[in-house]
Structure 1
Amino acid sequence: MSTINTAPIKWAQRSDSLYITIALADVKDESIVLEDETLKFRGKSENKEYEVDIVFFKSVDANGSTYKVLPRSVQMHVMKKDKDEDEFWPRLLKDKTLEKNQVKIDWDRYVDEDEEDGAGGFDTSALDGGMDMGSMMGGMGGMGGMGGMDMEALMKQMGDMGGGGGGMDGMDGMDGPDSDDEDDDDLPDLEG
């Protein structure tokens, strides 16, 4: 008889939704059942059987949620049932003791509750073409393209990288075979 292992879970949240990752590569023979109170997963990875059987801290909207089995994980965008509450959950699971053993925070998607406004929603582009848990993700149509990326902050970061002695100066010795450093001798000196 084969043993069934508990699959590792990572999660992050926004006030209206959860992003859950079952961190298993090359999942096969998966069975995923999301209900308003629970999530049940069963599947194989590297010839081992895994499962998840959890009860959420609060109710979720199973019909408005979606998932996709990707090469390195199973990703889920789960909508919270009480979207009007506009509050973060203190944990993912109803049972605190299970939380400590089964669940880790997804630091790549984590934001503090008071920083959520600037962070935007989750980037769900990896879930495009995924399986809906009910109806087709109503209200999510406008989230294509750059997702929750803050372009203004990105441009400022890029601007801070150039100029003022930083940037690409000091990269001597890193010239490739097509380098045109010999042309630098023809340039006039800058007047200061």
Structure 2
Amino acid sequence: MSRHPEVKWAQRVDKVYLTVLLPDAKNAKVNLEPEGVFTFSASAGAGDLLYELKLNLFDKVDVEESKINIGVRSIFCILEKAEKVWWKRLLREDGKAPHFIKVDWDKWVDEDEDNGANDLDLGGMDFSKFGGMGGMGGMPPGMGGMGGMGDDAMGDDFEDSDDEDQEVSKSDKNLEGGAKAEEEHGGASGEKKEAAASI
């Protein structure tokens, strides 16, 4: 019997962010079809338990432009929408979403606030570069999705790195930018506090 990993999602007018939370996933297989069918399977944990997931997304997606980043703690996907419209929900089916699907409030932007300025691009890889991952078929038996691909098949971009290194470097950049912004705005807010205190 398989289990469902926890999934977090957020959207912009042109894309959907999916994060599959599964630390130390082994033999991760991800497939995305243009009709909006997202499938995932991997084993994890001390007993190599099987985790599987099939999501019928609200609308069609552009497989060629979608990206994926498989890390140590999670699998992060940027799914490009076929049509740049705001989805009413993540899944095609009506009703309440399954208990393992949650909103990713860290990445969420309301429809009226979506101007593309807060776009995330973590430099993931295109689904189209994974052979059978885009629902194209033609993969040799046993190599569906990421299954039979070794580290060498992933290219130089991800060689000798894991998501922790990427997160640290990105966090450092964000902290530097945040510190500069805080310095620029911090002085102004400090002056306002002094002015308010003197009144």
User: In structure 1, what residue type is equivalent to 2:32?
Assistant: L
- CA-CA distance at 1:96 after TM superposition: 3.1
1:71-108 deviation digits (Å, cap 9, x = unpaired): 1100001000013xxx3111110113462423111111
* 1:45 has 2:44 as partner: yes
The structural deviation recorded for 1:23 is 0.8
Determine if the alignment matches structure 1 residue 57 to structure 2 residue 58: yes
Amino acid at match of 2:186: M
Question: Hey, which of these two has a bigger chunk of helix by percent?
Answer: 2
The CA RMSD measured in Å over matched residues stands at 3.0
Distance 1:98 1:62, change over 3 A: farther
Q: Distance in 1 between matches of 2:96 and 2:43?
A: 22
Cα contact 2:25–2:43 (8 A) shared by 1:
yes
> 8, 11, 15: which is aligned to 1:10?
8
1:50 and 1:100 map into 2 onto residues whose CA distance is 15
Pair 4,117 (structure 1): closer, same or farther in 2 beyond 3 Å: same
Looking at structure 2, the residues matched to 89 and 154 of structure 1 have their Cα atoms a distance apart, in angstroms, of 35
In structure 1, distance between residues paired with 2:23 and 2:94:
27
Q: Evaluate the alpha carbon distance shift between residue 75 and residue 18 of structure 1 in structure 2; reply closer, same or farther with a 3 A threshold.
A: same
- With 72-81 and 89-98 compared, the bigger mean Cα shift is at 89-98
Q: What corresponds to 1:134 in structure 2?
A: 128
Alpha-carbon distance in structure 2 between the residues aligned to 1:75 and 1:100? 19
User: Which blocks of at least 5 consecutive residues in structure 1 are unaligned?
Assistant: 137-145, 167-192
- Does the 8 Å contact 2:12/2:116 carry over to 1? no
**Is residue 80 of structure 1 aligned with residue 105 of structure 2?**
no
Q: Which runs of 4+ in 1 moved over 2 A?
A: 151-166
2:128 aligned partner, one-letter code: G
**% identity of equivalent residues:** 31
**Counterpart mapping for 1:1-192 below 5 A:** 3-36=1-34, 37-46=36-45, 47-83=48-84, 87-97=85-95, 99-117=97-115, 119-122=117-120, 124-125=121-122, 128=123, 130-134=124-128, 157-162=182-187, 163-164=190-191
